[in-house]
Each structure stands twice: as structure tokens, then as C-alpha cells.
Amino acid sequence: MSDSGTEFPDIVELNVGGVFYTTTLSTLRREGESLLGQIFNGSSKVKVHKDAKGKYFIDRDGVLFRYILDYLRNQKLVLPENFHEKERLKQEAEYYQLPNLVKVLTSSISAPKTLGQLQHTKIPPIPNSNSISPVSAEGKGPGYITVGYRGTFAFGRDGLADVKFRKLSRIIICGKVSLCREVFKDTLNESRDPDRGVSDRYTVRFFLKHNFLEQAFDMLTEEGFRLVGSCGSGTNNAGEVKAGMDTEEAKWQHYNEFVFERK
């Protein structure tokens, strides 16, 4: 990522797959033999680049990186209840060359359930031929969640379309607070909502910590929601161009919204 002579700041800003993090240099160097340790002490042959805002860019899963960073900070792994991405997190731990974390995750994935856990495991009902939902919502409350995003198309030099094609600025979540928290868990950003302690109300001010629309849809499907409606705006062909935004991209700005229901 950098030459051995590069000096890194004590406070390091990272852009991991589009998700921003701020941490200390000592945390990143906590395990010197890891990839991050080698990168940020200048001994790695892997090159790091900075994004347009001067943050060190790492092309990996930005959401799962929070657990990598927490592990380096605390030297132990603490995952949220019902965490379903241990295999993917193990893959990230292998990439960052964290053998102790890989060992913990491997044990967690392969560990058999205790008798008590088996006694409390629910056997899902066999779906009948009239079932239209891929996930049973039994025991879960009904409701609606609206997912919206403002996007454009990325362009490169000479007005040529970028290979990324679709470019999202933010995924917005609207609905009952308790439902939004249930579905999106730690990927939900509530920082712009002034009444974060109340879960029995509705909000239009939540957004996600990532820009992966398909991941949001997957999480909704896992919780028994189905898409029941969608709409979108036309492009902003002759609209106002925001400061710092590429003129060509601004012409293709659009807004899309998707309504999900759980009965």
C-alpha cells in the first residue's frame, strides 16, 4: 500500500468499500504480522491509494470491516445476536491475515449445538403449494418498509460511462422504527433521527451505512418481506448541478422507491 518511508498520521481515516471509518494508527498496527499491520508500518508490498477525500481506500466489504476493527481494538470477537455472515467474516479475516480471528470463527461455525439449543430450535413448517412468500413471517408483526435511493450513472473521461454504471449516494429507509431495526440491525444509521430512543413511531430519516441495494433487499427477504410496489423519477437532464458534482453525472440523477410488505 505504501513505501516503507511513508509516515502515517496518528488518526487514520479509511474508506473500506465505500464505508468510512476513523481509527488510530496503533489499532491498525495492533497485530504487526497482519495485513493491516504490515500496511500501516510501511512493510507491505501491497499498495494503498487514497480516495478523492484523502481517505485510505481498501477494496473490501465495508460493513464487515467494523468487526475486524472491533477485534483489533478489543482483541476479542463480539457479534450481534443472530449474526448470519460468519463465513463471509471468516473470509475477510483470512484476507487481513488474522489467524486468531480465523480460528475463533472456524470454531464458532463448526461448533455443534448444545442440548439446550437443540430443544429450543424451531422446525420450520412445510410450505404448502399456495405459499407465495419465500420466508415464513410466523411470530413476526406485519408492516411496511419503504426503501428509496437517489442515484446517477458514473462517467469517466471524455464522457464515457464507468464500469460501475449505477452510482448511489444513499439508501433511505422509511417505516416503523422497531421494524427497521429488526430488519437492518447494525447496518441501520439512525444519526439523523432526533428521537432515536422511541421504537413505536414511524420515521423517514433512517439510512443505511452502505450503498448495496441488493444487500438491503436480501435482508428484507430474510425477515419475510415481499416487494409490493415501486416507482421512480425521470432523469434530471436539465436540472441544477450541485457544487463539486460532475455535470454529465448530474444530468442522469434519478430517484427510485420500493415498498415492501410483511403480512
Q: Is the pTM of this model over 0.75?
A: no
Residue 30, classified by CB atoms within 10 Å of its CB into exposed (0-12), middle (13-18) or buried (19+), is: middle
Using 50, 70 and 90 to split pLDDT, how confident is the model at 108? confident
- All cell numbers assigned to 178: 422497531
Neighbours of 65 (CB within 10 A): 19
- All cell numbers assigned to 10: 496518528
Is the model more confident about 233 or about 60? 60
Phi/psi for 230 (5° steps) reads -155, 160
HEC states along the chain? CCCCCCCCCCEEEEEECCEEEEEEHHHHCCCCCCHHHHHCCCCCCCCCEECCCCCEEECCCCCCHHHHHHHHHHCCCCCCCCCCCHHHHHHHHHHCCCHHHHHHHHHHHHCCCCHHHHHCCCCCCCCCCCCCCCCCCCCCCCEEEEEEEEEEEEECHHHCEEEEEEEEEEEEEEEEHHHHHHHHHHHEECCCCCCCCCCCCEEEEEEECCCCHHHHHHHHHHCCCEEEEEEECCCCCCCCCCCCCCHHHHHCCEEEEEEEEEC
Residue range 128-157: mean pLDDT, rounded: 68
Using 50, 70 and 90 to split pLDDT, how confident is the model at 131? very low
List, for residues 179-194, the tens digit of each pLDDT value. Answer: 999 999 999 998 888 7
**Residues sharing a CB contact under 8 Å with residue 101, sequence separation 6 or more, in sequence order:** 68, 71, 77, 93
Percent of the chain scored above 70 by pLDDT? 76
List, for residues 162-182, the tens digit of each pLDDT value. Answer: 545 677 888 999 999 999 999
Domains and CATH numbers, the chain: 11-110 (3.30.710.10), 143-262 (no CATH)
